[in-house]
Structure 1
């Protein structure tokens, strides 16, 4: 599979602008003046859910990943540098950034085209991020991605992510948790001696579904 295709799983940089999702379950985040400082730093990729079949298959190839957020052009724009481990490669993408609007909605925008490709959604904790993307093809496909400050994500936060996914029309079969079995894309936030592996949950992909050789370009 092409490098650009894998990186698109997390950044979805090829997304076209679409109308707001008609589902009223998720609300754009309206965090307040300290949003920028709260978003800075490293976020670990925990799970994703996607309707587009190619993105769903690509997520099965990802062992782990993280994104690093840093100032871009002031407090309103924050650069997103993303890393994903696929096979024996750690792929990097920095084509998107967070923009905090006047109304304090946090958008994900493409760095070159300035098009909005996603929205940061409200959650119950400042230690997790939930980003909703939309992809317009023959119909509108939705994607939902969960990041956290560390991989000790509580059952309540996992259930919250799965609840939001369900309300967007994403089924349990369209949710993939990153296994974190290798250490290709290292992060400073993972302390020495601590394993970055997530605890298994009922919603994790069953054994045998992670088969990189079965997916083509």
Structure 2
């Protein structure tokens, strides 16, 4: 797996279509969009296939930065992923806010839906679920939070959502956050965040190259 694949490892792969919501969860409505602004720290990912779990194990830490876009109906998502001694960035994804239809994660170049936000019991949690369909269906989800530490109840809720996708506890990988390669504070203090050191990545997170692992299914 090359650096581009790692850099978009949290790039939110092609996701559940409308109406295919597992476990009875519902997407947040458009009124919640303003609450999504700011920094979200990567807590854990759940992947269906072993090769994707291995790739998630290479991630020390990661976070998202959500900011208003010029259109007013969109929120720009900047991704930061620390792998080894490098911090990879990607800002090609955004949330499209549609009245009465929740928020969808889309890719700015391809206009392809890449992720779906799911409701949680806490405003301090951000849950993204996806279902990539190629030769086989690939299921997974990511959990972000306002703080690196989450409660036991929040952890159990994430695991329950994973179970709703048919994922087991052993298929969940929690980020260790052992280094400070991607500097959260530096990103928060900049209108166009570029934490140091940065290896810029512009690879489009198309199916098969995005999500936890660009390795083939």
Q: Normalising by structure 1, what TM-score?
A: 0.79
Deviation at 1:106, TM superposition (A): 1.1
Q: Which of residues 73, 96, 99 in structure 1 aligns to 2:96?
A: 99
Alignment of 1:79 with 2:76, yes or no, is yes
Q: What is aligned with 1:197?
A: none
Contact 1:79 1:97 in 2 (8 A): yes
Structure 2 residue 23 is the aligned partner of structure 1 residue 45? no
The structural deviation recorded for 1:115 is: 1.1
What's the offset of the Cα at 1:143? Answer: 1.6
- Change in CA separation of 1:189 and 1:106 when aligned onto 2, cut-off 3 Å: farther
Per the TM alignment, residue 132 of structure 1 is displaced from its structure 2 partner at its CA by 0.7
Residue 36 of structure 1 is matched in structure 2 by 33
Q: Which residue of 2 aligns with 1:195?
A: none
Uncovered stretches (5+) of structure 1, i.e. residues with no partner: 191-214
**Residue equivalent to 2:58:** 61
- Structure 1 residues 19, 74: closer, same or farther in 2, change over 3 A? closer
Contact 1:109 1:118 in 2 (8 A): yes
Q: In structure 2, how many angstroms separate the alpha carbons of the residues matched to 1:16 and 1:39?
A: 19
Listed as ranges, the gaps of 5+ residues in structure 2 are: 188-212
The residue aligned with 1:146 is 143
Report whether the alignment pairs 1:115 with 2:116. no
The answer as to whether partners of 1:68 and 1:82 remain within 8 angstroms in 2 is: yes
Q: Which residue of 1 aligns with 2:209?
A: none
Deviates more, 1:52-61 or 1:110-119: 52-61
Does the Cα contact within 8 Å between 1:29 and 1:121 map onto a contact in 2?
yes
Cα distance, 1:136 vs structure 2? 1.4
Compare relative contact order (CA 8 Å, sep 6+) and give the higher one, 1 or 2.
Answer: 2
- Check conservation: 1:97, 1:108, Cα contact below 8 A: yes
Deviates more, 1:96-105 or 1:162-171: 96-105
**Which residue number corresponds to residue 177 of structure 1?**
174
**Equivalents in 1 of 2:162, 2:153: separation in Å?**
14
Question: What corresponds to 2:9 in structure 1?
Answer: 9
**Runs of 4+ more than 2 Å apart:** 15-26, 52-55
CA contact 2:16–2:116 (8 Å) conserved in 1: no
Aligned positions, number: 190
Q: Which residue matches 2:132?
A: 135
1:9-60 CA deviation, whole Å, 9 max, x = no partner? 21145x3785753634322122x52x23211111100000011443222101
Q: Distance in 1 between matches of 2:108 and 2:99?
A: 19
